[in-house]
Amino acid sequence: MDPARLKAIPIFSELSDEEAHRLAAFATETSVAEGQILMKQGDYSVELIAIEEGTADVVRDGEKIASLKQGDLIGEIGLFERRPRSADVIATSPMRVLKLTHWEIRRMSDDTVERIKQLIEERTQQGVADPAHVDDKSGS
């Protein structure tokens, strides 16, 4: 994958060119059919998904709680925290997504991993992290 495309994803935008180049080597691009489940409520999150094209709905207990589109991320909180998904994510159109597993992220240098964790924390505090994840401790 082109490292510049990886750096277009908000969580990776502040990586150095060298870090982005190394991480891009691990990224996989996948096509997703309309109706395909990207993440299942109750399963453990083991990957980050960035939507390059298409749309998806976030559904909890049968109720739609959010809509996702190009540029949105799914699963970033699960990269470092082992907790079950609190919602399904279902493609509502054909999609092209980028995937990185937590194993691939953890193969990066300690500095890169710490930077990614910091960016996730900042996105969480801003309320823009992982719409398919709800922190039950916050009462959300």
Instruction: Pick out the chain residues at pLDDT < 70.
Output: 127-140
Specify the pTM. 0.79
Pairing of strands 95-101, 47-53: antiparallel
Q: Which two tokens stand for residue 39?
A: 């993440």
Q: What's the pLDDT at 97?
A: 94
DSSP state letters, 50-107: EEEE--EEEEETTEEEEEE-TT-EESSGGGT---B-SSEEEESS-EEEEEEEHHHHHT
Q: How many Cβ atoms from other residues are within 10 Å of residue 123's Cβ?
A: 17
CA dihedral 77, 81, 83, 86 (to 10 degrees): -10
- Per-residue pLDDT tens for 3-39? 888 888 877 787 888 888 888 888 899 999 999 999 9
Q: What's the pLDDT at 139?
A: 38
CATH 3.40.140.10 fits 3-131, yes or no: no
